């Protein structure tokens, strides 16, 4: 229901152009269909009532017609106390009538018929088009309302593949205008959704000029594409562009063809997806910054917020580079991934994943694949819930090709082993011989609930080294049961041993740092099938709180490996109850200073690479030989041995700084 202005004249001149005095103005509802008429002399009514009417004395109605509405002055005196206001509504039922009304400069045009455009039609400034009924087919032509205003009911009013350009006042576009509906065929829904995206793309507005954009403009936006509630089947890929933004309150888009993506773009810039449920298809959202081989844009940002992704045949979300530059940020938050073959391919310059639920199903995932593949990824508050039996697979959560930071997250399958968390494919050694700071690789996992892998599988662990070592590994403040090693070294690809790998170090390579600190775990720190390893240029530090299993420093806890580093390193060992005559072996063929305390005794010893030991200082009952009733540090051959010979169980601590 619209509003109609009724103006009652107290004095009206008889002659056109005479002065008019207006004494009363009323704003009353105007009704479609039958109009209640009062006996008001000289009241002119116009609007969507089918005609322009003059209400005369006694309620008589007079129809008014003007051959050229543009020539009507603002106020026209009609005699007998009546007047005419400018801009009467013109009703059109055919394309020729629409063309004539636009050409005549009609300010208010209401389309009532079903017809096809035969040429481009463009509103002028100040013109308004309302599609009240019928359908306008646009194939091959453009309906451009950008200079004027537009209105239509939320039903199908357009058909065909021609462009529709909306004015800046339109903030949202609903594909329902093109026939998008839960009961429509997949082909109709696909065409309707693509038409809505095209209309939004055509309606870019530049903030700087407030004009329709002709090409890319880095400061601007486009109307949101709104997906109504309900399930909508499509059967082809929807392509979108720089400022395409999509939102819904739980509407479902179902892709019935698993070989095709749902949304795809090679021209992203400022895109958003909010509140949409995706089901089926190959990938749900694909973003590639630029066509392959071309230079991508700087400043691309894609936000995925509150979406639901189910049973994608490949990565549910894919953030890719063109391979020729560009700068991008991907943001995924508050979303869910349920039974997708893979969750995320993240090759933007930076991608963040926060407050996300991930629930892969092993029967729907290809063996030996990762749920996430990334080169620069930050994960926080992630809840991983792998369903099914993963013990017979070589799947994992993340393949790292750059930097991955994880905090406050959970990876699921407590009690059954779950999947390894990170496969590392980075290689700090020789990363950039001439520019060592250009490529830097890191893995950090902090304050997270870790259950992972099976110790009987050589490719299981919290972190599995597949191609080499990153510059930094940090495992800090994590908890729960580790069913295999924190860092697995014996799965190096192509039969390359860790010793051989470390031998490739050059003078350009930085120190590699490994920190395993303050974790509450049942598990094994580092494992390799190679025996004792010399990791040159490495700094390693770890402090553990153990709920069971063998302690660091014994052969069973490290799989027979001693970590030996070029440069000063630290070996730490603490035990509340070292048995009388119990021993701890220090790293083989090393030299340094060891400080040992046990009950009330303590001292400092110098250890040489041949295993010989010199006592530097200590309490009375300390020695550098295997002496009864003493706290001893002595030569064990090619390594030093710490031994409690005090005659009672000891609360012992060892700190060994060595090369």
Q: How confident is the model at residue 504 (pLDDT cuts 50, 70, 90)?
A: low
Query: For every residue of 94-142, which 3-state class applies, written as one string?
Result: CHHHHHHHHHCCCCEEEECCCEECCCCEECCCCCEEEECCCCEECCCCE
Give the tens place of pLDDT for each residue, 528-569: 433 333 333 344 444 433 333 333 332 222 322 333 333 456
> Averaging pLDDT over each range in 18-32, 61-75, 436-450, 566-580, which range is the top one?
436-450
How many C-beta atoms surround the C-beta of residue 238 within 10 A?
24
- What is the phi/psi pair of residue 406, to 5°? -125, 135
SS3 of 223-236: CEEEECCCEEEECC
**What pLDDT score does 382 carry?**
97
State pLDDT tens for residues 49-85: 333 444 444 444 444 444 444 443 344 444 444 444 4
3-class state of residue 24 by DSSP: strand
Largest CA distance in the chain: 132
Tokens of 102: 């636009």
Q: How confident is the model at residue 489 (pLDDT cuts 50, 70, 90)?
A: low
Q: d(Cα 276, Cα 174) in Å, to the nearest integer?
A: 14
Domain residue ranges of the chain, discontinuous segments joined by +: 2-87, 568-658
Contact 341, 366 (CB under 8 A): yes
Lowest mean pLDDT among 95-104, 218-227, 519-528: 519-528
455: left (phi over 0), alpha (psi -120 to 50) or beta: alpha
Chain length of the chain: 659
pLDDT at 475 over 60: yes
- The string of DSSP letters for 59-100 reads G-EEE---S-GGG--SEEEEETTEEEES--EEEE-SHHHHHH
- Tokens standing for 658? 């060595």
Inform me whether the pLDDT recorded for 171 exceeds 80.
Answer: yes
Mean pLDDT of 386-392: 77
State the Cα–Cα distance between residues 60 and 93, nearest whole angstrom: 28
8 Å CB contact between 517 and 476: yes
Instruction: Look at 530 and 487; give whichever has higher pLDDT.
Output: 487
Strand order in the sheet with 622-623: 583-585, 640-644, 631-635, 622-623
207-261 tens-digit pLDDT: 655 454 444 445 677 899 999 999 999 999 999 998 999 999 999 999 999 999 9
Does residue 36 register a pLDDT over 80? Answer: no
């Amino acid at each position: 229901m619209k509003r109609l202005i009724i103006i009652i004249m107290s004095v009206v001149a008889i002659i056109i152009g005479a002065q008019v005095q207006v004494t009363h103005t009323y704003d009353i509802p105007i009704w479609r269909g039958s109009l209640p008429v009062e006996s008001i002399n000289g009241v002119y009514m116009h609007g969507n009532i089918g005609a322009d009417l003059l209400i005369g004395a006694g309620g008589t109605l007079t129809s008014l017609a003007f051959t050229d509405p543009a020539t009507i002055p603002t106020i026209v005196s009609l005699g007998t106390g009546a007047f005419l206001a400018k801009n009467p509504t013109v009703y059109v039922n055919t394309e020729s009538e629409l063309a004539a009304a636009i050409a005549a400069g009609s300010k208010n045009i209401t389309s009532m018929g079903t017809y096809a455009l035969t040429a481009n039609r463009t509103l002028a400034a100040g013109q308004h088009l309302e599609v009240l009924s019928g359908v306008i087919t646009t194939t091959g032509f453009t309906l451009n309302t950008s200079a004027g205003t537009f209105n239509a009911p939320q039903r199908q009013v357009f058909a065909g593949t021609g462009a529709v350009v909306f004015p800046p006042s339109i903030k949202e576009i609903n594909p329902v205008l093109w026939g998008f509906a839960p009961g429509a065929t997949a082909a109709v829904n696909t065409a309707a959704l693509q038409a809505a995206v095209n209309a939004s793309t055509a309606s870019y507005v530049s903030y700087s000029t407030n004009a329709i954009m002709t090409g890319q403009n880095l400061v601007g936006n486009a109307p949101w594409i709104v997906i109504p509630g309900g399930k909508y089947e499509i059967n082809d890929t929807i392509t979108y562009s720089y400022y395409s933004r999509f939102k819904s309150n739980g509407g479902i888009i179902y892709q019935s063809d698993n070989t095709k993506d749902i949304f795809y773009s090679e021209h992203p810039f400022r895109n958003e997806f909010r509140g949409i449920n995706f089901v089926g298809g190959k990938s749900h959202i694909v973003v590639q910054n630029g066509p392959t081989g071309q230079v991508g844009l700087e400043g691309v940002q894609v936000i995925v917020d509150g979406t639901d992704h189910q049973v994608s045949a490949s990565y549910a979300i894919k953030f890719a580079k063109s391979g020729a530059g560009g700068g991008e940020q991907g943001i995924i938050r508050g979303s869910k991934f349920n039974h997708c073959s893979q969750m995320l391919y993240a090759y933007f310059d930076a991608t963040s994943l926060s407050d996300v639920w991930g629930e892969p199903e092993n029967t729907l995932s290809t063996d030996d694949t990762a749920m996430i593949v990334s080169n620069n990824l930050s994960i926080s508050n992630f809840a991983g819930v792998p369903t099914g039996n993963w013990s017979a697979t070589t799947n994992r959560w993340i393949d790292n090709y750059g930097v991955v930071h994880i905090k406050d997250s959970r990876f699921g399958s407590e009690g059954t082993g779950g999947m390894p968390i990170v496969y590392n494919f980075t290689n700090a050694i020789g990363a950039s011989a001439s520019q060592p700071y250009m490529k830097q690789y890191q893995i950090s996992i902090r304050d997270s609930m870790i259950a992972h892998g099976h110790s009987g599988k050589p490719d299981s662990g919290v972190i599995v080294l597949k191609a080499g070592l990153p510059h930094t590994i940090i495992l800090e403040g994590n908890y729960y049961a580790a069913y295999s090693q924190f860092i697995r070294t014996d799965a190096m690809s192509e039969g390359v041993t860790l010793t051989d790998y470390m031998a490739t170090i050059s003078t350009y390579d930085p120190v590699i740092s490994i920190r395993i600190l303050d974790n509450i775990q049942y598990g094994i720190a580092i494992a390799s099938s190679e025996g004792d390893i010399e990791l040159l240029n490495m700094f390693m530090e770890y402090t553990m709180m153990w709920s069971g299993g063998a302690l660091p420093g014994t052969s069973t806890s490290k799989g027979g490996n001693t970590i030996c580093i070029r440069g000063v390193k630290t070996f730490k060992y603490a035990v509340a109850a070292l048995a009388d005559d119990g021993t701890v072996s220090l790293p083989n063929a090393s030299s340094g200073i060891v400080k040992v305390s046990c009950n009330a005794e303590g001292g400092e010893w110098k250890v040489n690479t041949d295993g010989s030991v010199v006592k530097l200082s200590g309490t009375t009952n300390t020695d550098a030989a295997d002496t009864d009733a003493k706290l001893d540090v002595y030569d064990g051959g090619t390594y030093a041995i710490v031994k409690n010979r005090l005659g009672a169980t000891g609360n012992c601590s060892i700190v060994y700084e060595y090369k």
